[in-house]
Amino acid sequence: MATASSATSVYDFTVKDASGKDVDLSVYKGKVLLIVNVASQCGLTNSNYTELSQVYEKYKDQGLEILAFPCNQFAGQEPGTNEEIVQFACTRFKAEYPIFDKVDVNGSNASPLYKFLKSSKGGIFGDSVKWNFSKFLVDKEGRVVDRYAPTTSPLSIEKDIKKLLGIS
């Protein structure tokens, strides 16, 4: 498995899905990815999950994948098990995109993927992820091209997604 320093793209990483199985991110080669750290009990949950589902529904057939990584590092707002998280997202918000194993996005135990994402695109106030629903946009070659704040609406980045998908 790649380390954040040796990786050249997100395709160099293997992550765990919500049931604990390995997923080689190279299966997403040629897709535009929106990678998001999610939480079920955040003030941003309703708007983000709703809009992520809308964006996914609109662009999944043109090559967009949304990869959701639950994280409990921000005020303990994702306390559930993976099964509970998937049930919540899929039942309440009709999420059809993949939801992965719960990860740390900051600190010494941060997922290697998140270390890579942060080193590729630092935030305005440093590299660390500041809150739930931080978003990383990845092009078809697996390169991080943009990073969005937790309060940035998924619908507001639609133009950037369309550009990477080659849709005018």
Place of tokens 């009709």: 94
pLDDT at position 76, please? 85
Predicted confidence (pLDDT) per residue in 65-77, tens digit: 999 999 999 988 8
Structure tokens at 162: 């369309």
Q: What is the value of pTM for the model shown?
A: 0.91
Is residue 90 annotated as a catalytic residue, yes or no? no
CA dist 70 and 102 (Å) reads: 5
Q: Which residues pair with 70 in a beta bridge?
A: 38
Tell me, rounded to whole angstroms, the distance of Cα 160 from its chain centroid: 16
Measured CA angle at 50 (ends 47, 51), to 5 deg: 80
Fold type of domain 10-165: Glutaredoxin (3.40.30)
Predicted confidence (pLDDT) per residue in 98-138, tens digit: 999 999 999 999 999 999 999 886 655 568 888 998 999 99
Catalytic residue among 34, 38, 42, 55: 42
Is residue 143 over pLDDT 80?
A: yes
